[in-house]
Structures are given as C-alpha cells and as structure tokens.
Chains A and B, each alone.
Chain A
Amino acid sequence: MTNLTHLTIRAALDGLEKKDFTATELVDAHIAAAEAARGLNCFITETFDAAREQAKAADERYAKGEALPLDGIPVAMKDLFCTEGVQTTAASKILEGFKPPYESTVSGQMKRDGAITLGKANLDEFAMGSSNGTSAFGGVVNPWKRKGDNRDLVPGGSSGGSAAAVAARIAMGATGTDTGGSIRQPAAFCGITGIKPTYGRCSRFGVIAFASSLDQPGPFGRTAEDCALLLKSMAGYDAKDSTSVNAPVPDYAASIGQSVKGLKVGVPKEYRVEGTNEEIIALWDKGVEMLKDAGAEIVDVSLPHTKYALQTYYVIAPAECSSNLARYDGVRFGLRVEGDNLIDTYENTRAQGFGAEVRRRILIGTYVLSAGYYDAYYNQARRVRKLIWQDFIDAYKQCDVLLTPTAPTPAFAIGENLQDPVTMYLNDIFTIPASMAGMPGMSLPVGLSADGLPLGLQLIGQPFAEETLFKAASALEKAANFTDLPQTLMGKAA
C-alpha cells in the first residue's frame, strides 16, 4: 500500500473517495507517525482518541456517499485556536489546564468540513517568537538537519509545531496564525507551504490574541493546492469578529495550474538587504527566472518604507499585546500564584505565568503606550504603518504580486540567535511589511541550501487576491519541483 503519510491532501481525498483506504487507516498512519516522532515535540496536547472516533464517522459518511470537503484529513491545530473542552494553552504556563467552553470559528469550520485534529500544535508562547523556543512546553525540533551536522534545528516560529508536523509527515496539513511571519517563516524553515491570508479573511474569533490588528489565521500544507483546500474551509465572514470582511470565499484550488502568462511580478529592490544569506539572494533570482519562463512579466518596484517595518512592528505588536494579555490575571481562569494581597497575587501570577519573551513584550508595549510616550512611539508607528501600506498600494499599480525571500537565513540551530532579542527579531524582516499592510503572503519551498536546508520564497498579493497568489505559487512550485524530504524521513518514504 501507498505510504499514507506522504500523500498530499488532494491525493488522500481522491484515495478516500475511491475507497483505496479508509479514513481510519489514514488517521492511524498519522497517529503512528506522530508517536514515532514525539521527539520533535510537535504537540502540546494529543487528541488521538477523539481523532480515531472522528475517523470512524468519516468512514461512515464515505460509505454513504456523503463525504464532507475535507472528510478524514488529519491535521494539526495550532494551540492558539480555542477548542471546546480540549486544553488550549497558547504554549503558556499561565493557561495550562484551560479548557475553553467554546470553539474558535476556524477550528469549528474545519471540523464542519470533516478535517480531523490530531492534537494541539506547539508554538512560541502566545505566538511571540521566531524559533518556537519560547514555548513553556519545550521547543519544537525541525525534522530537517544540516548535512553532516547532527545538531537540532529550530522549526521557526511561532507556528513551529504546525510546520514541523506537516514537514515530518505527522499531519497532512495544519493551522497557523501569522502576526509578523508566524506562518511564512516556519513554512520556509521546514520546507513546506504556508499562506497568511489578507487580514480579515479568516475569523479571529476564538483565536487567542497576540496583536489584534495583525493576527491572521492561515493554513500549512505540503503543496499550494493543499493550502488552497484548507483555506477554503478556514476562510469566510464571521459576524463574531468585527474585523472579519464579508466577501465571498472563492474556490482557491481552481487557481492551481492556471497560467501566469502576463502576470506582473514585482521585485522590490528594498528586500536586498545587507546580511541576507547569499544563497537566498541567489534563490530569489532563480525564482524570478522561473516565473519569467512561465510567462510572467517581471517589474522592478520600490517599497521605500520597508526598512522601517520591523521597528513599526515592535511598537504596535507589543502595545496591543500588553493590553490583550491583561486578562491573564489569575481571577477567572488559568494560573494563580497567591501573594500577600490582590496586587501581589496579580504580580506573582503574571511573573511566573509568562515566560521571558512575553514579559519583555508586555513591558515594552506598556512603555510605548504610557503617558508622555504615546505620540512619540505609538502614534508615530501608526503613521509609518500607513506609509508602509501606501507603499504596497502604489506598487500594485505596477504589478499583481511581489516576489521576495521569506527569511534572511535558513533554519538555525536551537540556542543560536539568543544573544539578544533584537537579533532574533531580524528573522521576520521580510515577512513583517506585508503583515503591517494586511496583505496576503505565502511562502513555498523553492530550493535547498548548500548544507541541505530548505529555502523559501515569499509571494505577496493584493488584498483578497489570494487566488492570484495560488496561481503564481503553483507556477513557481511546478518550476522548482521541490521534492526533497527532511533527512529524518529519508529512506522511510515508499
């Protein structure tokens, strides 16, 4: 029989439909893979029993010819999505044991469509990080390794568990959230595909907030088409989210394989920043050629405020997070560490419940919002944000999509880049601008570094033009023909 864990979602849906195998077999194969790969620490909470039950129900629907759009597809759910009755932690000690009495809209829609959650995927605490190293439940290990170097590498972050699970063939797809690159950067580090849709495309209801004006759920898959299938299920208007946009959800998968002839691909010069890995620059040039060969028209564009995006982000995201995380006070849910009095209890709870990076961001956010600094920092950042947004709007007068690198380096080893928070922040330098502007962005694997690590390129699209992104991604995917497997899986494939 086929190695079920190596199938794409599209192939698995076909196989299930044709009764080549059952959903139970598919789910069991992935549970076995997950159990074998527990060392990667992809899940904070496993929900295998529930998954097996759901697989049975899926099989019954297939037998009756009533299969749902994603029926029986095993996925990993980032542990930032609240799941009713199932522990939801945001990878923080402060939420350990928290079982929400409600379901996030996105996870609910995936369940509605028959997707089966294998577990709650590990992440950086409250989605704050670029290496998955800030999780209170331990870091995630990237299934990829450098050639001849046995050191464990980070999967990227914050959606590290989701990306690693999909790369390691533990899950066929996964959910992530992206605030400044948390889907795109781990997708690049793990050699898979991930898309951050336009802000407002997927509901944030039931998604634990980091920075509300930036957070956006999106899928991971091993192909652009798989991401399209997942996004179709995740996206849509939600009356429970005031920033959700009421626009129809197209059949994204229909864009796969469409010609990019005449598509105008913008190449922003500001992304050629110093310190970027030369292999990545070379890969970028190669990507441009691939799209050109496929019939796209290449346009040089300028996004002049790109170099201020990171700084803008590190004002706005911490400011919002300092307020969003005020609700973790030990009164109604989560950890409480008793003190001498109420204030002492608050301070103990939050000091012990939050990890170092979360505390740091709350403090910087508190500082930039505080009296006397608000205008100089917060309002100035919001004004620059407007300029960054305007850059994109102007660029889109010349082109349909932008092509850039996803991250300035391939995956790094666990423990590297820890000297100073600011060094770590530089990881998101290519992904943050699209986040600030709310534009959809997608990362897909296009090649390997000399030492055998996957490298990703990013496509950035116009608001609500995800279909164009999928079209361009599938052209690039076809040309790149990225078939390499993580070293930990080599030889295991059929």
Chain B
Amino acid sequence: MTALLKGETGDWEMVIGLEVHAQVLTKSKLFSGASAEFGGAPNTHVSPVDAGMPGMLPVINKECVKKAVMTGLGLNAKINNVSVFERKNYFYPDLPQGYQISQYQHPIVGEGSIEIDLPDGSVKVVGIERLHLEQDAGKSLHDQHPQKSYVDLNRSGNPLMEIVSKPDMRSPEEAGAYVTKLRAIVRYLGTCDGNMDEGSMRCDVNVSVRKPGAELGTRCEIKNVNSVRFVQQAIEFEARRQIEIIEGGGVIKQETRLFDTSNGTTRSMRSKEDAHDYRYFPDPDLLPLTVEDGFIEDIRKTMPELPDAKKQRFMDEYGLSHQDASVLIGERERGDFFEKVAKGHDAKLASNWVLSELLGALHKAEKDLKDSPVTAEQLGELIGLIEDDTISGRIAKEVFAEMFGTGKNAGDIVEARGLKQVTDTGEIEKIVDAVLAENPDKIEQYKGGKDKLFGFFVGQVMKKSGGKANPGMVNDLLKKKLEA
C-alpha cells in the first residue's frame, strides 16, 4: 500500500524503518535487584548499581533473557546462541555509569519478520533486523528550575528490548500497523505491557524520501515518539519537510530530531553536538551471554498462540471474515473473550455481539474489556436465548442494555420483565386476527397488489404483542391468512 506524496517535481516515496524500545515485563531491573515498576517517588527504585556507584557490578536478570528469546521467537527470528553486552560510552546526567550497557555487534536475536494488517484488508510482511537487550536511562526534568535540571534514576537500568525493523514501510499507515502488530505480539507473549503512555513502548522513527525506484535518500531519526498516532503524524510531517528541502535545492542532513506533540512538527535535536563516538567495546564486567538450544526449545513450547495464528484459526474454525477476525485478535483478551462467548453458540452471532454491541457499549462508557459489566458467560447466555427463540434479536438488544447497566443475567431480566417470546400459535393467531379485523382497507390494497403492506401487518402484530411474538411465526400466519 505505497502511498506516494505529490511534490512539485512529481511523486515521492517514503522509506520508513522503526526502532521500538519495549520494556521487558519484569519485577526487577536488567542488571540490578531494584524494582522495575513505573513511577514511584524520585530515586526510590534505585540500587547503588543503578546509580553507577563506585565498585558496583551488573548481574543479569534471567527473566529478561527468557523474554527476549520469547519475543524473538514471536518475531519469527533467529535466536543467537551467543550474544555480547557492550558499553556505549557518552556523558549525560541521567546515564549514571557514563555508559549504557547494550548489545551492539552480537545481539541476542537476529533477523525475523512479522505480518502487518493494512486498512484495506491486505497483509504485508515487514522484516525485523534484530532485537537486543539494553539498559534504560534515568529521567531528566528540565522544567522545574530556570537554571537547573533534576535527575530521577528510577528508570535507570530498566530492561529494554530494542526491536529494529528493516526499512520496509512505505506509508504512515504501514508504520502504524507495524507498531500495532508489534504491540499485540509482545502483549500476547506477556513480554512487555505495551503501555505507550507510561513509556514502556517508545518508537524512534527513521524516515527518508526518494523518487520511486531511486536510491535510498538520507534519513533522519525522530526520537521517542510515544503513540501510534504520533508516529504517523511525525512521518507525515517529516517526509513533507524533506521533500520541500530537496525540491528547494537543499540536501538532507542526517540528524536526530524531536517530535513536538503540540503542533505535530519535528525539530533538530542536537544542532551542534560533537560527532558521536560511542566507543563501543565488550563490557568486561560481563561474560558473553549463552542461550542453549534446549532453553530456546523449552520457551518455544510455552509460547501462547500469537495474533496471526489466532486470526487464521478464527477464520477457519469459526468461519469469521478476515475483517472480524482481525479486530477480535487485536488484543489477546478480546480474542479470549470472544471464544468464551462463542462456546456452544453460533460463532458469527457471538462475533457480531462482541464486536458491535459489547465493544460499542464499552467504547461509549469509556471502559476496557477487562472492566466489562457483562461477562463472557453472561453474553453467551443472552445469545443462547436468541438461538432457542426465547427472545428475538430486537428484545435481546433491550435485555443487553439492562445487563450492561446492572450486571444482571439475561434470563433473570427476561423473566422479570416478561419478555419471553410468544410462540403459542393460538395466541399469535388471535393478535393476527385482531390486526386484520382492524384494517380491512389495507387488506384490499394488499390483495390488489400492494405487496409492501405485508411489512405493515407484521409491524402491527409485533407492536400489539409488545415485541414478544415470534417473528417467524407471525410471518407464516399472516401469509397464510392473507393468501387464503
């Protein structure tokens, strides 16, 4: 789904690659036993190791290794049996050691790929370059004092997976779909909570432009973009900025830029910074990290079903459309919820109820699925009532509204309000006869060829029954009597 941008000199193609930093979901930090929890009073989730105190040494968290491998498997990637932690050296107040421990030449995970779902229903494969483990930095606050910056090291040393894509994306939509899919994968795996508001997933976006089919252009990196929408905005702005410069006879300077969320623009971050020279070298406080094949296989065995597999299964097993299946698998909880609802019931009916009624109501009430007042079992019961003709679809919507408001069971509501469908032929016949008796003129017109009036009779019968008459039976009876 290549979206070309129109410039004065013709069409331009965007080339986009993403570096996503995903915080590994753990209790403690990558190399220290301090809490990795978000927030907290300043400098409370800090051990002497995280503060870079003299003589302190890193010891790796096993869970981070496990989850990095698991994520690598989820990205269909090659797991490297030996990887090496290196030091990336630079000075910054929120980098206490004066270096970040990262993986450079030998990452734990190599090349892989994922499929992204595009709005037009098509699927595209995006290559993964690598995934490596590294430490997060602390946080500097620049707005607390006119001449000072404040430093909080709570985040310092948190475990990050940096997931680097290949420059395979060609539009903001593709980039958005990539982030969405990546987020779904790590959340399915439980290796990252994907919480972009709290910064547990952050994106660095690499953007360049070129004439279609031409050589790659010079790229700019936009740092720390923290929502799917901002990723798309930033790309849109940055691509246009670059086109304007090139068409104006200028050249793109490779640089790091910041995205300004207030106005959707990007600006240069390090105007006059020394050329970076990070002086990477293997961290002598650590040994090479080895993961045995057996360890990798054990993890593979415990992997949950991933979004793409689940989507395919939903289509095969439940006969759902690609569109519906894609929405249902977007969140692991949503898919699980659907399957619980569908258990013993018509799957398409279940899918419709989850997608349109439940998600709609939740959206309106600004609630998450996990806080839904209607449980999967309750929704299943409601669908059961439709299936066995206890209530009609229309009544079911009424019942659902009350369930959503009160948390009561469908059966109880139907019982209490007397909403049970009338299926007694005699009773329905009485109503049909009454309606026909009241409308002799309409009968004449109907018999004279005005077929559309059939709907009128149905409506009248339903109205008189308070909506409880079984619509199929009403149809049958009316047809019989009118054609008699």
Residues of B with C-beta under 8 A to A206: 55-56
Question: What are the residues of chain A within 8 A of B286 when measuring CB–CB?
Answer: 242-243
* In the complex, B265 has a CB within 8 A of chain A: no
Taking a contact as CB atoms under 8 Å apart, the answer to whether B284 and A213 are in contact is yes
Cβ-neighbour of A331 out of B55, B96, B280, B281 (below 8 A): B96
Q: Give the distance in Å from the alpha carbon of A98 to the alpha carbon of B58 in the complex.
A: 21
The minimal Cβ–Cβ distance linking A319 to chain B, given in whole angstroms, is 6
A-chain residues with CB within 8 Å of residue B96 when the two chains form the complex: 327, 331-332
Q: 1/0 per residue A321-347: CB within 8 Å of B?
A: 011011101011100000000110010
Contact between A323 and B279, CB atoms less than 8 A apart = yes
Chain B contacts with A in 97-138, Cβ cutoff 8 A: 97-99
Residue in B59, B87, B279, B284 whose beta carbon sits within 8 Å of that of A370 in the complex: B279
* A90 touches B (CB below 8 Å): yes
A381 to B87: give the CA distance in the assembly, Å: 18
For the complex formed, measure the closest distance between the CB of B127 and the CB atoms of chain A, giving whole angstroms: 28
Question: When the two chains form the complex, which single residue of B53, B57, B60, B91 contacts A332, counting CB atoms closer than 8 Å?
Answer: B53
**Interface: A40 (CB within 8 A):** no
Q: Select which of B52, B54, B58 is within 8 A of A82 by beta carbon.
A: B54
Interface range on chain B (Cβ under 8 Å from partner): 20 to 34
Return B54 CB to nearest CB of chain A, in Å: 5
Q: Quick check: B99 and A326 within 8 Å, CB to CB?
A: yes
Contact indicator B91/A369 (Cβ below 8 Å)? no
Separation of A331 and B98 alpha carbons in the complex (Å): 11
Does residue B93 face the partner (Cβ distance < 8 Å to A)? yes
Nearest A residue to B59 via CB reads A242
Known contacts A242-B286, A243-B287, A90 near B98 by CB under 8 Å? no
A373 to B60, alpha carbons, bound, how many Å? Answer: 30
Interface assignment of A205: CB less than 8 Å from any CB of chain B: yes
Chain B residue contacts of A269, Cβ below 8 A: none
Is residue A366 contacting chain B, with contact meaning CB distance below 8 A? yes
B70-99 Cβ-contact flags toward A at 8 Å (1 or 0): 000000000000000001010101001111
Are B98 and A369 in contact (CB-based, < 8 A)?
no
The answer to whether A319 touches B281, judged by C-beta atoms less than 8 angstroms apart, is: yes
Known contacts: A323-B279, A333-B53, A378-B281. The answer to whether A242 contacts B93 by CB under 8 A is: no
Taking a contact as CB atoms under 8 Å apart, the answer to whether A331 and B151 are in contact is yes
Q: Quick check: is B393 within 8 A (CB to CB) of the other chain?
A: no
A101 to B277, CA, bound (A): 33
Distance between A405 CB and nearest chain B CB, rounded to angstroms: 29
Closest to A378 in B: B281
Tell me if B143 counts as interface (CB < 8 A to partner A): no
Given A95-B54, A101-B48, A323 and B287 contact (CB-CB distance below 8 Å): no
**Cβ A346 vs Cβ B58 within 8 A:** no
**A332 and B52 in contact (CB under 8 A), knowing A205-B57, A326-B89, A326-B98?**
yes
**Which residues of chain A from 331 to 369 have a CB within 8 Å of any chain B CB?**
331-333, 342-343, 346, 366, 369
**Would you call A251 an interface residue if the criterion is a C-beta within 8 Å of the partner chain's C-beta atoms?**
no
A204 within 8 A of B: yes
> How distant is B280 from chain A, measured CB to nearest CB, in Å?
8
In the complex, what distance in Å separates the CA atom of A98 from the CA atom of B55? 13
Interface residues on A, range: 35 or more
Which residues of B, 145-182, contact A by the 8 Å Cβ criterion?
149, 151
Q: Are B59 and A240 in contact (CB under 8 A)?
A: yes
Interface hub of B48, B149, B286 (most chain A Cβ within 10 A): B48
Determine the chain A residues whose CB is within 8 A of the CB of B98 once the complex forms. 323, 325-327, 329
Return chain B residues, CB-CB under 8 Å to A327. Answer: 52-54, 96-98
Q: Are B55 and A211 in contact (CB under 8 A)?
A: no
Asked if B51 is at the interface (CB within 8 A of a chain A CB), the reply is: yes
Contacts of B368 in A (CB 8 A): none
B97/A326 in contact, CB under 8 A = yes
B300 to chain A, nearest CB (A): 27
Q: Mark A86-104, 1 if CB is under 8 A from B, else 0.
A: 0010100001001011101
Residue B451 lies at the interface, judged by CB distance under 8 Å to chain A: no
Q: How far is the CB of B100 from chain A (nearest CB, A)?
A: 11
Q: How far is the CA of A331 from the CA of B58 in the complex (A)?
A: 20
Tell me if A166 counts as interface (CB < 8 A to partner B): no
CB distance from B154 to the nearest CB of A (A): 14
A35 at the A/B interface (Cβ < 8 Å)? no
Q: Is A239 an interface residue (CB 8 A)?
A: yes
**Residue in A243, A323, A343, A374 whose CB lies within 8 Å of B87:** A323
Chain B's nearest CB lies how many Å from the CB of A383? 13
**Nearest Cβ on chain B to A123's Cβ, whole angstroms:** 14
> Which residue of A is nearest B90, CB measured?
A326
Q: Which of B54, B91, B277, B283 is close to A208, meaning CB atoms less than 8 Å apart?
A: B54
**Shortest distance between the CB of A63 and any CB in chain B (Å):** 36
Q: How far is the CB of B372 from chain A (nearest CB, A)?
A: 45
Task: Scan A127-155; emit 1 where CB is below 8 A from any B CB, else 0.
Answer: 00000000000000000000000000000
Q: List the A side residues contacting B58 at CB < 8 Å.
A: 242
A331 and B286 CA atoms in complex are apart in Å by 25
- Interface flags, A286-325, vs B, CB<8A=1, else 0: 0000000000000000000000000000000001101101
> Given known contacts A323-B99, A369-B279, A370-B279, is B59 in contact with A239 (CB within 8 Å)?
yes
Closest to A203 in B: B57
**B476, CB-defined interface residue at 8 Å:** no
Q: Which residues of A contact B53 (CB under 8 A)?
A: 100-102, 327, 332-333
Q: A325 — which chain B residues lie within 8 A by C-beta?
A: 98
A212 on interface, CB distance cutoff 8 Å = yes
Q: How far, in angstroms, from A88 to B279 measured CA to CA in the complex?
A: 29
Residues of B25-68 at the interface with A, using a CB-CB cut-off of 8 Å, are: 48, 51-60
Residue A371 is within 8 A (CB to CB) of chain B in the complex: yes
How would residues 200 to 216 of chain A score, 1 for a CB under 8 Å from any chain B CB and 0 otherwise?
00001111110111000
User: Is B8 located at the chain interface by the 8 A CB criterion?
Assistant: no
In chain A between 44 and 94, which residues have their CB closer than 8 angstroms to a CB of chain B? 81-82, 88, 90
What residues of chain B lie closer than 8 Å to A102, measured between beta carbons? Answer: 48, 53, 55-56
Q: Are B59 and A332 in contact (CB under 8 A)?
A: no
Determine the residue in chain B with the shortest Cβ distance to A207: B55
Compute how far the CA of A333 lies from the CA of B284 in the bound complex, rounded to whole angstroms.
23
B215 near A: Cβ within 8 Å? no
Measured in the bound complex, the distance between the Cα atoms of B59 and A325 in whole Å is: 19
CA distance A337 to B360 in the complex (A): 61
B285 within 8 A of A: yes
Residues of chain B with a CB closer than 8 A to A378's CB: 281
In the assembled complex, A270 has its CB within 8 A of some CB on chain B: no
Q: How far is the CA of A342 from the CA of B151 in the complex (A)?
A: 13
CB distance from B460 to the nearest CB of A (A): 82
In the complex, what residues of B have CB within 8 A of residue A333's CB?
53-54
Q: How far, in whole Å, are A252 and B388 apart by their CA atoms in the complex?
A: 85
Expressed in whole angstroms, the Cα–Cα distance for A371 and B286 within the complex equals 23
Determine whether the beta carbon of B91 is less than 8 Å from that of A371: no
Known contacts: A101-B48, A242-B286. The answer to whether A323 contacts B89 by CB under 8 A is yes
**A242-B55 CB under 8 A given contacts A369-B281, A378-B281:** no
Q: List, in ascending order, chain A residues with CB within 8 A of B280's CB.
A: 369, 374
In the bound complex, residues from chain B placing their C-beta under 8 Å from that of A209 are: 54-55, 285
| Distance in angstroms between the alpha carbons of A333 and B279 in the assembled complex | 25
CA distance A242 to B62 in the complex (A): 13
- The answer to whether A342 and B55 touch (CB under 8 A), given A242-B287, A323-B87, is no
Q: Are B91 and A326 in contact (CB under 8 A)?
A: yes
Asked whether any CB of chain B lies closer than 8 Å to the CB of A241, the reply is: yes
**CA distance in complex: A102, B33 (Å):** 15
Interface residues of A in 185-220 (CB under 8 A from B): 204-209, 211-213
Interface residues of A in 366-413 (CB under 8 A from B): 366, 369-371, 374, 378
What are 11 inter-chain pairs, A to B, with CB distance below 8 A?
A88-B54, A204-B55, A240-B59, A326-B98, A327-B96, A327-B98, A329-B91, A332-B52, A346-B91, A370-B277, A374-B280
Binding site for A on B (CB under 8 A): 48, 51-60, 87, 89, 91, 93, 96-99, 149, 151, 277, 279-281, 283-287
5 closest Cβ contacts across the A-B interface?
A326-B98, A213-B284, A212-B284, A369-B279, A327-B52
Q: Given known contacts A369-B281, A374-B281, what 13 new A-B pairs fall within 8 Å (CB)?
A: A95-B54, A100-B54, A100-B55, A101-B53, A102-B53, A212-B283, A242-B60, A243-B287, A319-B281, A329-B98, A369-B280, A370-B277, A371-B277
